[in-house]
């Protein structure tokens, strides 16, 4: 990515939310900030719950010409008319999925801290990869991805890269020259005004 390009914004839903309340919160954020992609990332494995959430959020996203992808559930993503799938486990056969899904379906992959996993996903046909967390996190072993991974990726690899996890305004400023997307989720949904929280995080981008 060229230093002069402004990274795009990628939103991730909370792992659980109320369909009576969250759609309005999401709409307020989408009306306040230009977003490129929405990821439905529910912890639930209940098909009916995922379906109802996907139907509602697809309506919101597509009314704004916004792509929406679903964590892991490839068959549901296709059946529900979503734009693609985000794989949280890169051991899944991306090459096989690429052949099975429609040509314009989005396949993204979380690659944690591993440049090797990112390369494998890109070579197998992923449309983008994400690395993270980029900031200190109490989750997992507390490790974060080195900025050098993004520097190398932006210089050497064509596939877009997403920076996610424990983002702050300072990290947004630091990673902006070397990432194509910033992914926000917990950073904003815990705030009373999610749109304002997102705007504050994006302030360094101007």
pLDDT reported for residue 1 = 34
Given this model, what pLDDT does residue 152 score?
A: 97
Kindly report the number of other CB atoms within 10 A of residue 194's CB atom. 21
Q: What separation, in Å, do the N-terminal and C-terminal C-alpha atoms of the chain show? A: 18
Query: CA-to-CA distance for 64 and 175, rounded, in angstroms?
Result: 27
Distance CA 21, CA 44 (A): 18
Residue environment code for 116-136, b if the CB has 16+ CB neighbours within 10 A, otherwise e: ebbbbbbebbbbbbbbbbbbe
SS3 at position 82? coil
- Where do runs of H (alpha helix) occur along 13-168? 22-32, 47-62, 74-79, 94-100, 115-124, 147-156
Per-residue pLDDT, 64 = 97
Q: What is the pTM of this model?
A: 0.94
> Tell me, what's the pLDDT at 107?
97
User: pLDDT means per 10 residues in the chain (206 residues)?
Assistant: 73 98 98 98 97 98 98 94 93 85 92 95 95 88 92 96 98 98 97 98 95
What is the DSSP code string of 172-184?
A: HHHHGGG-SEEEE
Q: Which CATH superfamily is domain 8-205 in?
A: Aldolase class I (3.20.20.70)
């Amino acid at each position: 990515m060229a230093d002069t390009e402004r990274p795009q914004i990628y939103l991730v839903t909370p792992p659980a939310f109320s369909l009576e309340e969250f759609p309005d919160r999401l709409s307020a954020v989408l009306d306040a900030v230009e977003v490129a992609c929405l990821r439905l990332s529910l912890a639930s494995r209940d098909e009916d719950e995922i379906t109802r959430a996907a139907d509602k959020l697809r309506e919101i996203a597509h009314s704004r010409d916004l792509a929406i992808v679903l964590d892991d559930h490839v068959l549901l993503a296709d059946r529900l008319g979503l734009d693609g799938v985000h794989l949280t486990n890169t051991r899944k056969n991306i090459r096989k999925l690429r052949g099975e899904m429609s040509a314009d379906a989005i396949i993204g992959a979380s690659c944690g801290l591993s440049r090797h996993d990112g390369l494998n996903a890109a070579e197998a046909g992923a449309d983008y990869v994400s690395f993270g967390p980029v900031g200190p996190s109490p989750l997992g072993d507390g490790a974060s991805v080195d900025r050098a991974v993004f520097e190398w990726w932006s210089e050497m690899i064509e596939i877009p890269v997403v920076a996610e996890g424990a983002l702050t305004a300072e990290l947004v400023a630091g990673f902006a020259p070397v990432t194509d997307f910033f992914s926000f989720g917990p950073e904003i949904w815990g705030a009373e005004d999610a749109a304002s929280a997102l705007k504050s995080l994006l302030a360094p981008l101007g």
